[in-house]
Structure 1
Amino acid sequence: MPQYMITYIGGDKPSTVEEGQQHYALYKDWLSSLGRAVLNPATPFKATSTVNPDGSVSNGSVSAMSGYTLIEADSMETAVNAVKSCPFLAINGTMEVSELIR
Structure 2
Amino acid sequence: MSKFMFAYHGGKMPETPEEGAKMMAAWEAWYKDMGESLVDGGNPVGMSKTVSSGGVEDNGGANPLSGYTIISADSIEVACDMAKGCPMLESGGTVEVAPVIEM
Fold match (TM-score > 0.5): yes
Counterpart contact for 2:48–2:64, Cα < 8 Å: no
Q: Which runs of 4+ in 1 moved over 3 A?
A: none
In structure 1, C-alpha distance between the alignment counterparts of 2:32 and 2:53, rounded to whole Å:
41
- Residue 43 of structure 2 corresponds to 43
Post-superposition Cα deviations, 1:45-77, rounded to whole Å, max 9, x if no partner, equal 1242222321x2233411221010000001111
- RMSD over aligned Cα, in angstroms? 1.3
Q: Is 2:102 aligned against 1:77?
A: no
What's the CA shift string for 1:10-58, capped at 9, x where partnerless?
A: 002211122112111111110111011111112211242222321x223
Identity across matched positions, percent: 36
CA distance in 1, matches of 2:95, 2:32: 18
| Alignment correspondent of 1:17 | 17
Superposed CA offset, 1:68-91 (max 9, x none): 000000111111111111111111
The aligned residue for residue 57 of structure 1 is 56
How many angstroms apart in 2 are the aligned matches of 1:79 and 1:57? 33
Distance 2:8 2:34 in 1: 17
| Aligned length in residues | 101
**C-alpha separation in 1, matches of 2:75 and 2:68:** 18
In structure 1, distance between residues paired with 2:20 and 2:13: 8
Gaps of 5+ in 1: none
Q: TM-score, normalised by structure 1?
A: 0.89
What's the secondary structure of 1:34's corresponding residue? helix
What is the DSSP-based 3-state SS (H/G/I as helix, E as strand, rest coil) of the residue aligned with 1:41?
A: strand
How far apart, in 1, do the equivalents of 2:18 and 2:90 lie?
Answer: 16
